[in-house]
Structure 1
Amino acid sequence: MSILAILISLGLLMFLAYRGITVLLLAPLMAALAVVLSGDAGTLLPSYTVTFMSQLGGYLAKFFPLFILGALFGQLMADSGAAHAISEGLVKRLGTRHVILTVVLACAILTYGGVSLFVVAFAIYPIGAQLFQRTDTPKRLLPAAIALGSFTFTMTALPGTPAIQNAIPIPYFQTNSFAAPGLGIIAGLMMLGLGTWWLKGRASKAQAQGENYGVHQNEGLEKDSSLVATMSMTAALVPLIMVIGLNALLTYLVFPRIDFSYLAESFPELNPAGATGMWSILIALATASAWLMISRWKQWSDLKTTVNNGCFGAMLPVFNTASEVGYGAVIASLAGFAIVKDAVLGLYPSNPLISEAVAVNVLAGITGSSSGGMSIALSTLGSTYMEMAVKSGIDPELMHRVAALAAGSMDTLPHSGAVITLLAICKLTHRQSYGQMFMMTVAFPMLALITVVTLGSLVGSF
């Protein structure tokens, strides 16, 4: 009964989220429904006040500063005229035929450089909206373009990517972030090529049928023309370069050379090695935001409103995602989830590649999290998969790459926090945009995963 309860809860959550009902209400209600249907009604209130809320609060404690600074940076990029200047410059240089590819590559460069996908969504949205509006491309395709550049090949496929999804398999398979580079590049090119081709085709078809950008209220894209006129594309790119450059500088050169042992007494629970990555991006975002405010000081017409709007804009995305985390924690605490997990992880025991791919995929889909699904799978059977790989003569690097790719397939079903957050940032609904997002983040990544598993089974890792 507990398994059925999870399936009913998950199905309703995806269906109602797709219908546009806020996950702020859906997540606790569907978690409560799962608890009641599983026969644990007596634990309903503790499941909410302890499990759900503690996990929600824990997520906020970790990522709220990132959301605030990311939203502020994105608003400053929009209101300073930088987004408009970049969109005009890109259209001038690339023409009006490549706006989708421009958005995808902009997101890819940032995420491959180590910038959080949520930060990229905040920063690129105003630029992408300007480009789509400028070229009359339907806005409903914008979340799919951002997702293709942020949630797919730079997150799981390209060798060396600093994404957490590429780091989790390392201790289990004794590999590094460049594992199976050839297969990773093939998978990445498949996602990029197929995704761009698909979106350009959908845009051309829509425009041929008379569909344009559309009417979207309260976008905040109307800028003071004086700001745009006085900012060059080069000046507009400086803040983005600062985010990437400072993040990399602090991560790889500055923080590794600092001895943080003096913090041990005052902050005994702090792990500097795990915290410096977040510190780097926070400092980079704060510095780039300060640069925009100071360098454009004389041109701001209402800086206070811009700052307020940016900070307020972070509220809905961060609480949406945190609510999803709380929901996943309640589901994971149910007895039925342990049964589902064990059944999934035991699939195809004779072929560790297929077993691992299915296990990570399904668990990522259930939890709505790529890192969460992969962590559950590898923490449970990582050592077993390693032993099976050695006995079968399978390169551990191939196991690493398959795990990462599998984590980035079904993780973006409609209830995914990343999907809900991106739609909230773009001010669109599941009904308007999720169909194309599904193709970018589920269908094509799944095809790339199947290709890598097939090639790996036939020729091994390369």
Structure 2
Amino acid sequence: MIGLMVVFIALFLLIYLAYRGVSLLILTPALATFAVVASREGSALGSYTQIFMGGAGNFITLYFPIFLLGAVFGKLMEDSGSAQTLANGIIAKLGAGRAILAVVLSGAVMTYGGVSLFVVAFAVFPIAAALFRQANIPKRLIPATIALGAFTFTMTALPGTPSIQNAIPMPYFGTSPFAAPGLGVITALIMFGLGLMWLQYRARSLAAEGYGDHPDAEFSPNRELREKAAGEGFDLMELPVEQPAKDQPSFVVAVLPLITVIAVNLLFTFVVIPRMDTGFLALPLYGETDIEAVRGVWSVIVGLVCALLLLLAMNWRRLPGLKQTLDNGANASLVPIFNTASLVGFGAVIASLSAFLLIRDSVVTLGGDNPLISLAIAVNILAGMTGSASGGMSIALSTLGDTYLEMARVAGINPELLHRVTAVATGGLDTLPHNGAVITLLAIAGLTHRQAYFDLAMVAMLAPFISLIALITLGTLFGNF
């Protein structure tokens, strides 16, 4: 009983102190040590160096290339003007009459192609503000509109997305980024459709309110916002800086790197890697593993590298400060991956305590004979507690991944279905008010939780919940497809 209380106190302090802006790099090892000492189990120093750092280190070993390449890719898309061109092009094509759809699609196209959701938010907001003002749509719907395109179906449901939420399950389940493609597409359409219906309904019901009295001077990330974003766990390098006007790439030049990420990813997953001789992976030198454990990660890495090279080749003259851009992109990958790895280390320490056995036994029985339900609940709760989709997923899989894989084997469930349920389940409670992405998006828009959070939660929390239920129902009835 004391052990359970210690675990819940540690989790409560994690939620509260993270929301108050305490760095996860300091908070997670401190709370992990507190849990060990208060539980009177094991060695505090041993738990820190061997369990906490072991868990964090393994996560970094697996996923650092994806964090690094993704951050550099996003920064190059931003500094080359490609992100702005995409946003301008899609929104201009649809026009003010379809302002909500235009903003959602502009965010979706970029995030599905691998652009950081923070780069998307900074690129899209100024245009969205002008478009919503022109269409006389309430400004308080802008954060929800951006979130629907950038935080939801392209992050978790669409097969092939290079998001870290789609990459993390791959080594645990031996799957690829295209796991359960049919179910993923259906889930994404439900999420997109429900979110869009809600936003359009709200725009009609709030028509009398209009855009509101918001001056909306030309947006620039001021010092206060940059410091706030950094406090929420995002590297300052990920935020844009004011740049002189420059030649913008054409829409075709801007969109080609995004297409390349997905196309090369698909090609390597299903054509190139299956034809490779990968027997060498069984050697001790390569960790005595097999291709199923690394296939997905390899595909995403190659897809991002090819897209980076193409982006550089087509925008060389638009990147006079290329060295600085690459440095900023590389630096921007460090805080996110170390924050997530620290959460994984915290989870590893909690899992080493005897009280965790009681929690595990309770969680895995929640869905009865259907492990998909239990998995979805566990991931959602942990994502909500940590305020991080990737952090919650990583803790769940590092502590319970093998258990769910064995349960799925016994139940005859395809690991690809486990992958897709895990990914989609991260996109629910992670959007609670203390989520760093939520706080930063509201700060970009200059709005408060009271003004804009309700609609944001409807499209980024409720719609994914309903989509997750549909995914589990379809997967249970028809299996993986």
Q: TM over 0.5, yes or no?
A: yes
Contact 1:191 1:445 in 2 (8 A): yes
Tell me if 1:274 matches 2:293: yes
Letter in 2 for 1:128: V
Structure-to-structure mapping, 1:164-203, within 5 angstroms: 177-178=179-180, 181=183, 187-199=187-199
Correspondence 1:2-81 to 2 at 5 A: 2-40=3-41, 43-81=43-81
Q: Give the letter aligned to residue 62 of structure 1.
A: L
3-state SS of 1:2 partner:
helix
Distance, in Å, in 2 between the alignment partners of 1:279 and 1:6 is: 36
1:149 corresponds to 2:153: yes
SS at match of 2:247: helix
Structure 2 SS opposite 1:225: coil
Contact map agreement 2:364 2:371 (CA 8 A) in 1: no
Structure 1 residues 97 and 303 mapped into 2: Cα distance closer, same or farther (>3 Å)? farther
Q: Which amino acid aligns with 2:79?
A: D
Return closer, same or farther for 1:258/1:452 CA change in 2, 3 Å cut-off: closer
Please name the residue that 1:216 is paired with.
221
Distance across 2 between alignment mates of 1:330 and 1:108: 37
3-state secondary structure, aligned to 1:227? coil
> What is the CA–CA distance in structure 2 between the aligned matches of 1:348 and 1:24, rounded to whole Å?
34
The alpha-carbon deviation at position 294 of structure 1 amounts to 2.9
CA contact (8 A) 2:157 2:188 kept: yes
How far residue 380 of structure 1 moved from its aligned partner, in angstroms, is 3.1
Call closer, same or farther: CA 1:409–1:302 in 2, change over 3 Å: closer
Long gaps (5+) in structure 2? 134-138, 227-238
With 231-240 and 423-432 compared, the bigger mean Cα shift is at 423-432
Measured after TM superposition, the shift of residue 60 of structure 1 is 1.5
1:91 alignment partner in structure 2: 91
Query: What amino acid sits opposite 2:23 in the alignment?
Result: T
Query: Residue 369 of structure 1: which of 368, 392, 401 is its match?
Result: 392
Aligned length: 437
Displacement after TM superposition at 1:190 (Å): 3.3
Q: For residue 241 of structure 1, what is the amino acid of its counterpart?
A: I
C-alpha distance in structure 2 between counterparts of 1:364 and 1:220, whole Å: 27
Amino acid at match of 1:303: L
Q: Deviations over 1:75-105 (max 9, x none)?
A: 1111111112112111210114555544544
Aligned-residue CA RMSD (Å): 4.5
Matched to 2:300, the amino acid is I
Verify the 8 A CA contact 2:384 2:432 in the aligned structure 1: no
The answer for unaligned runs of 5 or more in structure 1 is none
Cα contact 2:158–2:181 (8 A) shared by 1: no
Corresponding residue SS for 1:20 = coil
Letter in 2 for 1:220: P
| Residues 438 and 318 of structure 1: CA distance in aligned 2, closer, same or farther (over 3 Å) | farther
Q: Secondary structure at the match of 1:267?
A: helix
8 Å CA contact 1:353–1:402 kept in 2: the answer is: no
Q: 1:423 to 1:369 in 2, by over 3 A?
A: same
Contact map agreement 1:347 1:359 (CA 8 A) in 2? no
Identity of aligned residues (%): 32
**Residue 52 and residue 128 in structure 1: after superposition, are their counterparts in 2 closer, same or farther (change >3 A)?**
farther
Counterpart secondary structure, 2:277: coil
| Residues in 2 aligned to 1:60 and 1:360: alpha-carbon distance in whole angstroms | 20
- Offset at residue 233 of structure 1 (A): 0.8
1:240 and 2:258 matched: yes
TM-score (norm 1): 0.75
1:364–1:371 CA contact under 8 A, matched in 2: no
Structure 1 window deviating more from structure 2 (198-207 vs 120-129): it is 198-207
For residues 278-330 of structure 1, what are the alpha-carbon distances to aligned partners after superposition, in whole Å with 9 as ceiling and x for unaligned?
22322222232222223222333322221221112112111111111111111
Could you tell me whether the CA contact under 8 Å between 1:106 and 1:149 is conserved in 2?
Answer: no
Match of 1:303 in 2: 322
Alpha carbons 2:280, 2:286 under 8 Å: kept: no
- Equivalent residue letter for 1:284: G
**Contact 2:101–2:196, Cα closer than 8 Å, also in 1:** yes
Q: Spell out, residue by residue over 1:394-444, the C-alpha distance to the aligned partner (whole angstroms, 9 max, x if none).
A: x9899869955874465626699xx55787799879986877665445433
What is the CA–CA distance in structure 2 between the aligned matches of 1:420 and 1:80, rounded to whole Å?
A: 26
- Residue 21 of structure 2 aligns to a residue in which SS? coil
**Aligned partners of 2:471, 2:292: CA distance in 1, in Å?**
32
Partner of 2:365: 346
C-alpha deviation, 1:252, in angstroms: 1.8
Residue pair 1:31, 1:327 contacting (<8 A) in 2 also = yes
Distance 1:140 1:303, change over 3 A: same
SS at match of 1:21: coil
1:33, distance to aligned residue in structure 2 (A): 2.5
Aligned residue type for 1:216: P
Residues 1:267 and 1:383: Cα distance change in structure 2 (over 3 Å): closer
Q: Which amino acid aligns with 2:211?
A: A
CA deviation after TM superposition for structure 1 residue 377, in Å: 5.4
**CA-CA distance at 1:34 after TM superposition:** 2.2
- 8 A Cα contact 2:71 2:329, kept in partner: yes
TM-score (norm 2): 0.73
Q: Which of 124, 129, 133 does residue 128 from structure 1 map onto?
A: 124
- Does the 8 Å CA contact 2:427/2:460 hold for their aligned counterparts? yes
